Amino acid sequence: MSRPAAITFKGNPMTLVGEEVQVGQAAPDFKLHAFGPQGLTAITVADLKGKPSILSVVPSLDTGVCQVQTKKFNESLGEMGDSINALTISLDLPFAQNRFCGAENITNIKQYSDYQERSFGNNWGMLIDELKLLARGTFVLDSEGKVVYAETCKEVTEEPNYDAALAALKSLL
């Protein structure tokens, strides 16, 4: 399934692959990868259960708006510590994600890549067909993995609604 003209990129209509995730539904599964001291490791939705989670989705950490989004969430999430799962998700390679987050001292949100299977992009309706990048958005899950907040930015170059996403997350604590 695809959704033509679901979003725009610099004003140009773009197609999103997959169904749009809705508030109230169970979080669709995914398999994301990170690079750490143990090498490449994977994470799935099941690994997030037990704590509220925020998923910050960006096209690429090599772009200005994605960097701003990641830095803003990193600053805002520090006070919540280990009481939440916080993920930045992109199609960047895990090595590039680590380089950016290390250089910018991003420590309150972990970076995960959908580069291997694109299961997040496809299952969450966030893969931009024309660009083969993820759309920009934010999702909040409760501790059981139910979606309580979902935002797909209509224009890829615009920042998400930080206040609404953070309020949804804080309401679960």
- What's phi and psi for 172, nearest 5 deg? -95, -10
Would you call 66 a catalytic residue per the annotation? yes
CATH for the stretch 2-170: 3.40.30.10
| 155 confidence band (pLDDT: 50, 70, 90) | very high
Domain ranges in the chain? 2-170
Task: Share the mean pLDDT of the chain.
Answer: 96
pLDDT at 37: 81
Whether this prediction's pTM lies above 0.85 is answered by: yes
Sign of CA dihedral 146, 30, 115, 9: negative
Closest C-alpha among 13, 5, 21, 30 to residue 125: 21
Instruction: Kindly state the average pLDDT of the residues 133-142.
Output: 98
Closest C-alpha among 22, 45, 53 to residue 150: 22
Instruction: Kindly state the average pLDDT of the residues 87-105.
Output: 94
Catalytic residue among 66, 91, 135, 156: 66
Closest C-alpha among 94, 90, 108, 96 to residue 30: 90
102 sits in which H/E element: helix 94-103
